[in-house]
Amino acid sequence: MTRPDSSARHAGHRSVPHTADLRVEAWAPTREECLTQAVRGVCESFLDLTGAAGVRRRDVVLRADRDEDVLVALLEEVVYWLDTEGEVPVGVELTPVPGGLRCGLQMADAGSLPVTGAAPKAVTLHELAFARGPEGWMCSVTLDV
């Protein structure tokens, strides 16, 4: 896997055209920053987060053995909080723990933010990728919208 525009950016994310779904790619020097960029990319695909501020914090420990499973579990948390509480993370703090990841999510009310696209409904395993390469970490994930 090669990082898009690797000479221009150290960390980032982008949406990739995908028929009837949302596809996000993210990259960063560290695993945790790559995961953070993936969350940001998913949320920015359907909301304008400019100036968004967290109004509450959600702390979650995700258990997973493989990096791909951590990515899926984290994005499933995003979908869960959006569906159940109408919240999206605008700040993400990730700390590795044995067998998983501790997540501190600063949440904003999604209803207070401008809508720019269709909200994700589920994370899929289709063409899921998350790996460390010579230039850092990169992930690709598809979500149903």
Q: What is the CATH number of the domain that holds 43?
A: 3.55.10.10
d(CA 74, CA 62): 7
Please give the pLDDT value at position 7: 39
The whole-number pLDDT of residue 17 equals 59
Q: Cβ-count burial of 89 within 10 angstroms (0-12 exposed, 13-18 middle, 19+ buried)?
A: buried
28 inside domain: yes
> Considering the domain boundaries, does residue 40 fall inside one?
yes
**Distance from chain centroid for Cα 96:** 16
Mean pLDDT by 10 residues, the chain (145 residues): 50 75 95 98 96 95 94 97 97 95 97 95 94 94 94
* Number of domains comprising the chain: 1
Task: Quote the pLDDT of residue 10.
Answer: 87
Query: Do the domain assignments include residue 4?
Result: no
State residue 139's pLDDT score.
97
Structural domain that includes position 91: 20-144
In a domain, 115, yes or no: yes
Question: Is 75 domain-assigned?
Answer: yes
